[in-house]
């Protein structure tokens, strides 16, 4: 009976040891797989960040160039519009001055008639 119990205990111990080694190997394999996956993910993230930074840089350059051109075109348009406005204002001022002068002359003539 003792021999059977001892044999049974030995078999259980050997089985547990083999099971533990198998689990250890699986954990080691899984750890390697996770490590490789993390490395691949980190590399992909790094590449994505690099590509994104290049894209942003390109868009920023294009945006700055477009802004500069827009400001330049806007300044030209403003200059032309100001010149036209100044011409128009000058003409209106002349008309206004002529009207004031004519009114002044009319008033002066009326005053002379009354005196």
Question: In tens digits, what is the pLDDT along the chain, a chain of 115 residues?
Answer: 667 776 767 776 667 677 667 777 887 888 888 888 888 888 898 888 999 899 998 999 999 999 998 888 888 888 888 888 888 888 888 888 888 888 888 888 877 777 6
Helix (H, G, I), strand (E, B) or coil at 115: coil
Alpha carbons 30 and 61: distance in angstroms, whole number: 46
Helix (H, G, I), strand (E, B) or coil at 1: coil
Give 33-98 as a 3 state SS string. Answer: HHHHHHHHHHHHHHHHHHHHHHHHHHHHHHHHHHHHHHHHHHHHHHHHHHHHHHHHHHHHHHHHHH
């Amino acid at each position: 009976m003792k021999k059977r119990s001892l044999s049974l205990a030995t078999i259980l111990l050997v089985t547990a040891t083999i099971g533990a080694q198998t689990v250890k190997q699986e954990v080691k394999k899984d750890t390697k797989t996770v490590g490789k996956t993390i490395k691949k993910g980190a590399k992909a993230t790094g590449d994505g960040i690099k590509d994104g930074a290049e894209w942003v840089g390109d868009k920023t350059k294009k945006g700055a160039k477009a802004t500069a051109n827009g400001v330049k075109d806007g300044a030209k348009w403003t200059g032309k519009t100001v010149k036209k406005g100044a011409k128009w204002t000058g003409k209106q001022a002349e008309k206004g001055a002529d009207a004031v002068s004519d009114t002044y002359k009319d008033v002066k003539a009326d005053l002379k008639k009354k005196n």
